[in-house]
Amino acid sequence: MSTDFASHAADYLRLRRSLGHDLAEAHRLLPRFVSYLDAIDATRITTDVALEWVRRRDVGPASSIWPRRMTMVRGFARYMSGIDPATEIPPYGLVTHRQQWKTPFIYSANDIQALLRAVPVVVPTTLRRATVETMIGLLACTGLRVSEAIVLARDDVDCVDGVLTVRASKFTKNREVLLDPTATAALTAYAAIRDRHVPISTTGNYFCSGKGTPVIYSDFGFLFRRLVTVSGVGTDSAIHPRIHDLRHSFAVHTLVRWYRNGDDVAALLPRLSTYMGHRTPIYTYWYLSANPELLALAAERLQNPTTEGLHR
């Protein structure tokens, strides 16, 4: 006797949605699992069946796909066990994944200047050039994610008080980002250029194209890669510079400055975590092991614990 898994899956998703869960991935993965159950004429979910589907070779075990599939299957199996007691809920630990962190390229101040000097070579038009220059400068001095900078609304940029409001970022949280006076001046100058070239915009975004439309992530990424090539930044490094490394660089330079000032880094790290919009401080702590200079400074602090807090 067959089981109407599709109907049960629809009820399960409806229930989860009513409880406020983010179901984007479940909507994508669960129908595939249900199709697999129907294809093998399964009458109930078992651990073996779950593992066979989760470990399909369309992706490798080193990726995060297998654990994400198992998380989805386990949730659906838990729901199905209330309908069919013979359902097996796969235990934890069957599929594991270790986060693979890519070593970031840490941009120096000279690297940032080299990128900015290359902008007129790569980008000839005035507004587009100003957009690229200002966005790169903003990313470098605030640690914003590229996606956060692109969707900034005009009302989100307060150049009078020097504050950015980042709304519904990666983890659906709003946060305020304080700006250095030089960043505020650059954003103010950009707004004047933008409004002169695009007096009536089709978007409320702070950064826009020559047609007044939003900046496209892929286009900005392509231009940035061109700038890296033209400027020669990273040519003597084994690590290829990425646009997201501007964010890493901001965090590393901030931590280095705190160590050199003798500040209480452990106490300040949660503030940096909040500023950067990390879900938990553990993501910020990773930067301590991501850079040789930081490791050396941390080791020196451990060897000379009496220096901790002298400059608080």
pLDDT for the residue 14: 87
Q: Which of 234, 265, 233 is nearest to 251 (CA)?
A: 265
Kindly name the residue from 16, 128, 194, 247 that is annotated as catalytic. 247
Specify whether 311 is catalytic. no
For the question of residue 170 being annotated catalytic, the response is yes
pLDDT of residue 170: 58
Cβ(122)–Cβ(307) below 8 Å: no
Annotated catalytic residue, options 145, 194, 248, 253: 145
Active-site residue flag, 27: no
Look up the CATH number of domain 118-230. 1.10.443.10
User: pLDDT grade, residue 276 (50/70/90)?
Assistant: confident
The reply to whether 287 belongs to the active site is yes
Q: Is the dihedral of CA 241, 247, 102, 254 positive or negative?
A: positive
Q: Could you read off the pLDDT of 197-244 as tens digits, one per residue? A: 987 766 789 999 888 888 999 999 999 999 999 999 999 998 899 999
Per-residue tokens: 185: 């001046």
Please indicate, yes or no, whether the overall pTM of this predicted structure exceeds 0.75.
no
Per the annotation, the verdict on 248 as an active-site residue is no
Of 21, 102, 117, 170, which one is the catalytic site residue?
Answer: 170
Alpha helices in the chain (DSSP H): 5-18, 24-39, 47-54, 65-81, 109-122, 126-142, 146-150, 181-197, 217-231, 245-261, 265-276, 282-285, 292-303
Average per-residue pLDDT for the chain: 85
Active-site choice (36, 244, 285, 301): 244
Q: What's the whole-number mean pLDDT along residues 121-130?
A: 94
Per-residue model confidence as pLDDT tens digits over 292-304: 666 666 656 655 6
Could you confirm whether 145 is annotated as catalytic? yes
